[in-house]
């Protein structure tokens, strides 16, 4: 891949990735041609090869770029949240739901990656889980949340976000409703603090 060195080049590459995201999501990887992507992006087919050597490379770059964007958005939101780790989770989940509302085809693209490039598919989740684990473990060390296996907890939270995003954002085709978000965060908050449904401390408490 050739990295763009001008603002115009960066804009063109961004248009190609946005077009690829839309077309891969709508038609699936194996039914998409390079001409489909360039037609959607409004550029000549030769322009595609300035930035990507193949459809496979464009797909890989799309998944990696969106994963980077997604991690950056949620990380910044969590870091800027006022309060403890539960507040950071609320901010991060809100940012995640907003992100997928703006990238509705991303779910389909990522799921296709399992069959197009399994290593890429695993990398998408494992890279996010690594950073998530570190943040959760730091919160445990500060006594903000109950002590548990931080990697398992990271995947639990990722699973919640994945399925709630699908059910409450992707399927209805609209931003998540405030009550749904509140219900999700009440459940997550109780779990992170080691509380049962009545608000009593569970066995995993650090206190």
> How confident is the model over 174-197, as pLDDT tens digits?
999 999 999 999 999 999 998 543
Distance of CA 145 to the CA centre of its chain: 23
pLDDT at 2 over 90: no
Give, in words, the CATH class of 57-207.
Answer: mainly alpha
Q: 1-53 sits in which CATH class?
A: mainly alpha
168 vs 90: CA distance, rounded Å: 16
Listed in order, the ranges of the chain carrying CATH 1.10.10.60 are 1-53
The pTM of the full predicted model, rounded to 2 decimals, is 0.88
**Could you tell me which residues come within 8 angstroms of residue 2 by beta carbon, excluding any fewer than 6 positions away?**
50, 51
For 20-76, the pLDDT digits (tens) are: 999 999 999 999 999 999 999 999 999 999 999 999 999 999 999 999 999 999 999
Six-digit token pair at 124? 């998408």
Q: pLDDT exceeding 90 applies to what percent of the chain?
A: 89
- Residue 68 tokens, joined: 């980077």
């Amino acid at each position: 891949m050739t990295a763009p060195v001008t603002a115009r080049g960066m804009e063109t590459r961004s248009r190609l990735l946005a077009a690829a995201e839309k077309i891969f999501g709508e038609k699936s990887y194996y039914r998409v041609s390079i001409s489909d992507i360039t037609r959607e992006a409004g550029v000549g087919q030769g322009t595609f090869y300035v930035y990507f050597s193949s459809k496979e490379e464009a797909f890989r770059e799309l998944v990696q770029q969106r994963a980077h964007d997604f991690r950056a958005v949620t990380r910044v939101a969590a870091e800027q949240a006022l309060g403890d780790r539960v507040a950071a989770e609320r901010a991060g989940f809100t940012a995640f739901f907003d992100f997928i509302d703006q990238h509705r085809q991303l779910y389909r693209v990522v799921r296709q990656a399992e069959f197009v490039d399994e290593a890429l598919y695993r990398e998408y989740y494992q890279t996010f889980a690594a950073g998530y684990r570190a943040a959760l473990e730091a919160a445990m060390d500060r006594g903000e949340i109950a002590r548990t296996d931080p990697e398992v907890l990271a995947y639990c939270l990722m699973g919640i976000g994945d399925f709630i995003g699908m059910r409450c954002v992707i399927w209805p085709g609209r931003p998540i409703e405030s009550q749904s978000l509140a219900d999700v965060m009440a459940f997550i908050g109780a779990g992170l603090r080691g509380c049962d449904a009545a608000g009593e401390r569970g066995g995993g408490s650090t206190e």
